[in-house]
A and B are shown apart, each in its own frame.
Chain A
Amino acid sequence: MTDATLSSAASAAPVTERKSKSLLEADSHTRRRNAAETRFRFYGIGAVLIGLFFLVALLWAILSNGLSAFTQTSIPIDLPLDKAAIESAEKSIVKTSKYNAMIGAALEKKLADAHIETSMSEKDLMKILSSGAASTVRDFVLANPDKYGTTVPFQLLASSRVDGYLKGRVTRAALANDKNLDAAHLDIVDAMMKAGIIAKTFNWNFVFGADASDSRPEQAGIGVSMLGSLYMMLVVLVLSLPIGVAASIYLEEFAPKNRWTDIIEVNIANLAAVPSIVFGILGLAAFIQFAHLPQSAPIVGGLVLTLMTLPTIIISTRAALKAVPPSIRSAALGIGASKMQSVFHHVLPLAMPGILTGTIIGLAQALGETAPLLLIGMVGFIASNYPDGVADGFFSPNSAMPAQIYEWAKRADPAFYERAWGGIIILLVVLMSMNILAILLRRKFERRW
């Protein structure tokens, strides 16, 4: 009461003073206030524009560097599979060199057919092709013994330098110091292009294939490490969703509010901020050194990422549970539902969209995580084989998408650099599909009011 009278007395004077002014023109105080508001709006727009600029720059960089990884240069070669030649090749010690000779002869014939003249030796000529060409042919031959004596059309990969030349990455000047390819090769490639016997095609092998060694970037693909990531995500989902949701429900709905639960709550919040590499070293100590789980295996990666994802899921689930109006809980309790019935029949379904969103965000975070994988050996392992089944998928060494990208970015050959960017495109596409899935699930559950 006294406060009210005091303040009205104090404001009485300026009010009468202001009354005399016209409403049609703003006074200086209002003008200043409006100016500040306008300024603030421009700051906001500026901030958004800066953000957009960086987003566009990022996308442009990724797409311009990475899209070329999705095409690959190859040369169609008809190779006669002479049985005697194959048998003698299989008897020799360095088997692929014999195959190389066979391919070289076929390539020479191909050039001759296209009327491309060259004085290069067969061995030199082979530099146009990937060094993996011989093993590609040999794998086919061993898998298809019935094809002996026939002529089989192969799409053999060109070497990474030739591929780079077609993509504009390799120039004649750059080849001066390069032992892998000479300018003379490029003349042949030019002629081959003119004759239409060399072409860039969509690179399915990059999406579904396995990684290759340092000297054969043209063969490297992200497919196997994508499988590694998939198996890890399965482990993370199967472990972190039930554990995280159960922990949140207990803490939010059942646990007494006392010192202990406060400590637990603070620690969960802190865990969410712990650098991921710490979880990596914990995983190394606990899962590999102590529990003797296999190194580099998706099961271990999944366990480590579960530890990392749990706080995220718990925090978002608790937020989703908190957002459910308490009136729903009392409504259920009021007609004699038990605590658990009220939670599982009413609160949880209403919190479901939030829980799912949190889980998928957690999974997406885990999918892009590299640091903990460094410590458990999932980086540096060359994932060159598909796992032989589900169990093998979990327990045999593999890599993961971000680890594979890191591995490629590390390697010297610029052809790998292109693949690193390409890998990032695939990673982003996977993340984006996960986010779309999150939105769809959210919609589906929300419609059930």
Chain B
Amino acid sequence: MTQMPGTIKAAAMTDTKISARNVQVYYGDTHAIKDVNIEIGARAVTAFIGPSGCGKSTFLRCLNRMNDTIDICRVEGSIDLDGEDIYDSRVDPVQLRAKVGMVFQKPNPFPKSIYDNIAYGPRIHGLVRKKADLDEIVASSLQKAGLWNEVKDRLDGPGTGLSGGQQQRLCIARAIAVSPEVILMDEPCSALDPIATAKVEELIDELRENFTIVIVTHSMQQAARVSQRTAFFHMGNLVEIGDTQDIFTNPVDKRTQDYITGRFG
């Protein structure tokens, strides 16, 4: 039943980057994600919305196997990235996460300099040989994240010394420094003030040109502003997915309608 809306709207997408089939997630005995099927389009922003505890973050963390770090978590079904099952036993999650980057709810820069924050990823993945190349990556990542002008004079300063919004953009810059194909964002603006939020949203819109972005958000306005497609989760089910405009103006499911009109959640 939940599959239907997704498959219908899939026709509207240009090409599919991630496709999940029959995904089940269990935390111990709790069935957290129930039979989710979803197609996520390339070079577009897909927003996951839904009430707290509906499983949207859990599902997001399945996409780069961050759930592997939780002992009691078990994932079933298949999630394909460019046609390859990321839960295949031959896949090294570390390699996957270089392809599928993540930005977290709370800005979490490393307690190192701004430069080292960005340079860390390219260094561990061996993307650069020379210091000049690394400088280049750091500069371009910060430029893409719209942070370059604010920090170019204090690259040696601590990343933790930036404001909350700057820290979050630093984290986004850190994520794109390893040139991922997909960026997952788990409520990236929930700890930010409206001005910082606006900047990050603007940034997300720009990043869409080069990256596939999946964003979990509590704010329906934010989903409406930044995303092209929106998926609504409820109680571990994917209730509905479609073009953002359709979801907000013409939802198919009653639950979606109730949620976006503020009747619950």
The answer to whether B125 touches A336 (Cβ under 8 A) is yes
Chain B residues within an 8 Å CB radius of A335: 97-98, 101-102, 120-121, 174-175, 177-178
Q: Within residues 90 to 140 of chain A, which ones have a CB less than 8 A from any CB in chain B? A: none
A256 at the interface (CB under 8 A from B): yes
Distance in angstroms between the alpha carbons of A332 and B104 in the assembled complex: 11
User: Tally of A-B residue pairs with Cβ under 8 A?
Assistant: 70
Distance in angstroms between the alpha carbons of A334 and B60 in the assembled complex: 12
Given contacts A334-B175, A336-B121, contact A256 B71 (CB under 8 A): yes
The answer to whether B97 touches A333 (Cβ under 8 A) is yes
The answer to whether A333 touches B66 (Cβ under 8 A) is yes
The answer to whether B106 touches A334 (Cβ under 8 A) is no
Among the 9-residue stretches B14-22, B75-83, B107-115, the one with 4 or more Cβ atoms under 8 Å from chain A is: B107-115
- In which size bucket is the chain B interface? 20 to 34
Distance in angstroms between the alpha carbons of A381 and B232 in the assembled complex: 79
Distance in angstroms between the alpha carbons of A346 and B160 in the assembled complex: 14
Contact with B along A306-348 (1 / 0, CB 8 A): 0000000000000000000101111111111110010001100
The answer to whether A346 touches B71 (Cβ under 8 A) is no
Given contacts A327-B106, A327-B108, A350-B111, contact A334 B97 (CB under 8 A): yes
Task: Name the residue on B nearest A256 (C-beta).
Answer: B71
Q: Within residues 334 to 369 of chain A, which ones have a CB less than 8 A from any CB in chain B? A: 334-338, 341, 345-346, 350
Chain B residues within an 8 Å CB radius of A346: 110
How far, in Å, is A265 (CB) from chain B's closest CB?
15
Chain A residues within an 8 Å CB radius of B95: 336
Given contacts A331-B108, A336-B94, A337-B124, contact A257 B71 (CB under 8 A): yes
B158 at the interface (CB under 8 A from A): yes
Q: Within residues 380 to 396 of chain A, which ones have a CB less than 8 A from any CB in chain B? A: none
Distance in angstroms between the alpha carbons of A194 and B99 in the assembled complex: 91
Given contacts A327-B104, A338-B94, contact A449 B171 (CB under 8 A): no
How far, in Å, is B12 (CB) from chain A's closest CB?
30
Distance in angstroms between the alpha carbons of A346 and B111 in the assembled complex: 8
Contact with A along B94-138 (1 / 0, CB 8 A): 111111011110101111100000001100110000000000000
Of B97, B104, B111, the residue contacting A336 (CB under 8 A) is B97
Of B66, B99, B109, B112, the residue contacting A330 (CB under 8 A) is B66
Chain A residues within an 8 Å CB radius of B110: 328, 331-332, 346
B261 at the interface (CB under 8 A from A): no
B64 at the interface (CB under 8 A from A): yes
Q: Within residues 386 to 433 of chain A, which ones have a CB less than 8 A from any CB in chain B? A: none
Chain B residues within an 8 Å CB radius of A337: 94, 120-121, 124
Chain B residues within an 8 Å CB radius of A332: 110, 120
Of B109, B177, B178, the residue contacting A331 (CB under 8 A) is B109
Given contacts A327-B104, A327-B106, contact A334 B124 (CB under 8 A): no
B69 at the interface (CB under 8 A from A): yes
Chain B residues within an 8 Å CB radius of A449: 111-112, 158, 160
Of A256, A327, A334, A338, the residue contacting B64 (CB under 8 A) is A334
Of A325, A331, A336, A350, the residue contacting B124 (CB under 8 A) is A336
Most chain A CB neighbours (cut-off 10 Å) among B97, B174, B178: B97
Contact with A along B164-203 (1 / 0, CB 8 A): 0000000100110110000000000000000000000000
The answer to whether A336 touches B66 (Cβ under 8 A) is no
Chain A residues within an 8 Å CB radius of B178: 335-336
Contacts A331-B174, A336-B99 aside, 15 further interface pairs with beta carbons under 8 A come to A327-B106, A331-B109, A333-B97, A334-B66, A334-B97, A334-B104, A335-B101, A336-B96, A336-B178, A337-B121, A345-B124, A350-B111, A449-B111, A449-B112, A449-B158
The 6 closest A-B pairs by CB, nearest first: A336-B98, A334-B102, A327-B108, A336-B97, A335-B121, A331-B108
A-B contacts, 5 of them at CB < 8 A, read A330-B66, A330-B102, A334-B102, A336-B125, A346-B110
